[in-house]
């Protein structure tokens, strides 16, 4: 019995990792902040939006699981293969490369800034120094080039976030009835429409589709099965969703009842002082730092996968370009974060990139998942296509919203 348990644990450690990278990517500073605003300003009402976003993520990431394990291809490779030799190839390649690279560089600045916000501010250390320190930490982790080491680092950061935010949610003693009502009774209060879309948009991350399929492709070559990949992504995304729910619940239980408008994450740390005393800021700071650093690692990695796969480079050139892409994204993020620019500029820029990219990438993954020459009997079923189309409709709405906000049309 003990031997069987040991074997099972060994298999779980070997197979668990790609899904954790997905969870680490979407639980970033943007998610933490958006979830805090949702709970602080609207109580438990918007918990259903988090649940929907988790379901939507699972629909698309399950498709990338089949692409990576059965087709043993990254999403960028599949797009290149489906469009090669047609008039769609270069427009698709330019759009994916431009949006992924530029968008991820903008997100990277936010990730690094968010991680820095979780660190203590000292008069002896200028506020522009922390982003450089965090960027160097991400550089060292990515520079190892060892997939398993990176995955384990991200798993540790996700576990850290889970411990911090789940503990906080338990300590505030929320109403179970209110949680149940928020989860199973969809409502959109006045002025909450954009926040609902924001909760979905921070979870259904387009570059995760590239990251997941590419890392799974390597695991599949080592013997990872489709069932293992599905279990991995289900547990990881569900875990990430629980973290987001816990942030909303904590904010709802501590901030919403005060009657004051919630504007920042710092308010959430302040409400925990009666429970944690002076350790409240450190407690929340650790969670925010872990969220920022984990996303700061995954964004450059995903950009590198997308660019090199879409271009269809040879093995030797792929390694060189791969390294320069993630270095460029990381360096750009460090630069803008250390310049202490107004975050609104970076946010608007990222909104445009995400608004254009998200529905297009969702369309590509649904399209590729129906290719029998690539996936055989594992192509989309009718139910999966219906679910995919539903998610696509939401992502198109998110895209229109992002572009509208960026240009001041909404």
Task: Kindly tell me the burial class for residue 139, based on how many C-beta atoms sit within 10 Å of its own C-beta (0-12, 13-18, 19 or more).
Answer: middle
pTM of the model: 0.81
Q: Is 2's pLDDT higher than 50?
A: no
Q: What is the pLDDT of residue 353?
A: 59
Q: What is the pLDDT of residue 42?
A: 92
Highest mean pLDDT pick, 31-45, 84-98, 117-131, 367-381? 367-381
For the stretch 152-178, pLDDT in tens is 776 777 777 778 788 888 888 888 999
CA distance 73 to 218: 9
Q: What is the pLDDT of residue 410?
A: 60
| 10 within domain boundaries | no
| 183 within domain boundaries | yes
Sequential DSSP letters for 183-248: HHS----TT-HHHHHHHHHTTS-HHHHHHHHHHHHHHHHTT--HHHHHHHHHHHHHHHHHHHHHHH
CA distance 249 to 243: 10
For the stretch 80-101, pLDDT in tens is 888 887 888 888 888 778 777 7
For the stretch 315-360, pLDDT in tens is 778 888 888 999 998 988 888 877 766 554 555 455 555 666 778 7
For the stretch 101-117, pLDDT in tens is 777 777 788 778 777 77
Q: Which residue has the higher pLDDT, 56 or 409?
A: 56
Q: What is the DSSP letter of 261?
A: P
| 15 within domain boundaries | no
What integer is the mean pLDDT of 173-197?
Answer: 86
For the stretch 42-70, pLDDT in tens is 999 999 999 998 999 999 999 999 999 99
| 1 within domain boundaries | no
Q: What is the pLDDT of residue 402?
A: 57
Q: What is the pLDDT of residue 341?
A: 62
Q: What is the pLDDT of residue 268?
A: 67
| 7 within domain boundaries | no
φ, ψ of residue 102 in degrees (nearest 5): -65, -45
| 110 within domain boundaries | yes
CB count in 10 Å sphere of residue 184: 10
Q: What is the pLDDT of residue 383?
A: 95
Q: What is the pLDDT of residue 136?
A: 85
Q: What is the pLDDT of residue 405?
A: 58
Q: Is 35's pLDDT higher than 50?
A: yes
For the stretch 245-295, pLDDT in tens is 998 998 898 888 777 777 766 676 766 666 677 777 777 777 777 777 878
Cβ neighbours for 223, distance < 8 A, ≥ 6 positions apart: none
Identify the CATH number of the domain in which residue 194 sits: 1.20.1740.10
The count of C-alpha atoms lying within 13 angstroms of the C-alpha of 214, restricted to the half-sphere facing its C-beta, is: 24
CA distance 52 to 358: 17
Q: How confident is the model at residue 151 (pLDDT cuts 50, 70, 90)?
A: low
Q: Write down the mean pLDDT value for the chain.
A: 79
Q: What is the pLDDT of residue 121?
A: 55
| 8 within domain boundaries | no
Q: Which domain holds residue 121?
A: 21-406
What integer is the mean pLDDT of 215-229?
Answer: 86
- Number of separate domains in the chain: 1
Q: Taking a C-beta distance cutoff of 8 angstroms, is the pair 42, 217 a contact?
A: no
Q: How confident is the model at residue 127 (pLDDT cuts 50, 70, 90)?
A: low
């Amino acid at each position: 019995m003990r031997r069987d348990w040991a074997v099972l644990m060994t298999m779980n450690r070997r197979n668990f990792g790609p899904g954790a990278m997905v969870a680490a990517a979407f639980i970033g500073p943007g998610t933490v902040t958006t979830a805090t605003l949702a709970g602080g300003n609207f109580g438990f009402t918007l918990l259903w939006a988090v649940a929907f976003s988790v379901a939507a993520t699972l629909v698309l990431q399950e498709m990338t699981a089949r692409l990576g394990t059965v087709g043993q291809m990254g999403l960028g490779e599949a797009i290149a293969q489906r469009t090669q030799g047609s008039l769609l190839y270069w427009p698709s390649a330019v759009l994916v490369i431009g949006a992924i690279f530029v968008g991820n560089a903008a997100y990277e600045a936010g990730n690094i800034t968010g991680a820095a916000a979780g660190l203590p501010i000292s008069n002896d250390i200028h506020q522009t120094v922390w982003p450089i320190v965090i960027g160097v930490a991400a550089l060292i982790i990515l520079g190892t080039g060892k997939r398993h080491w990176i995955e384990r680092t991200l798993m540790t950061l996700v576990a850290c976030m889970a411990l911090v935010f789940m503990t906080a949610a338990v300590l505030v003693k929320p109403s179970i009835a209110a949680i149940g009502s928020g989860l199973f009774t969809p409502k959109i209060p006045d002025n909450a429409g954009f926040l609902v879309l924001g909760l979905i948009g921070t979870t259904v991350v387009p570059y995760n589709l590239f990251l997941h399929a590419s890392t799974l492709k390597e695991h599949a070559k080592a013997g990872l099965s489709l069932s293992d990949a599905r279990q991995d992504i289900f547990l990881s995304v569900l875990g990430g969703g629980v973290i987001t729910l816990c942030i909303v619940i904590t904010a709802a239980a501590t901030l919403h009842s005060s009657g004051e408008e919630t504007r920042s994450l710092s308010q959430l740390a302040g409400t925990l002082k009666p429970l944690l005393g002076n350790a409240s800021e450190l407690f929340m700071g650790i969670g925010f730092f872990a969220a920022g650093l984990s996303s700061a690692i995954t964004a450059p990695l995903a950009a590198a996968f997308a660019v090199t796969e879409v271009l269809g480079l040879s093995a030797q050139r792929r390694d060189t370009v791969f390294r320069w892409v993630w270095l460029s994204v990381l360096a750009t993020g460090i630069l803008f974060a250390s310049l202490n620019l107004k975050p609104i500029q970076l946010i608007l820029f990222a909104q445009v990139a995400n608004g254009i990219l998200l529905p297009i990438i969702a369309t590509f993954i649904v399209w590729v998942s129906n290719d029998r020459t690539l996936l055989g009997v594992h192509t989309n079923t009718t139910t999966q296509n219906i679910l995919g189309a539903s998610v696509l409709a939401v992502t198109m709405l998110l895209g229109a919203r992002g572009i509208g906000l960026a240009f001041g049309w909404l």
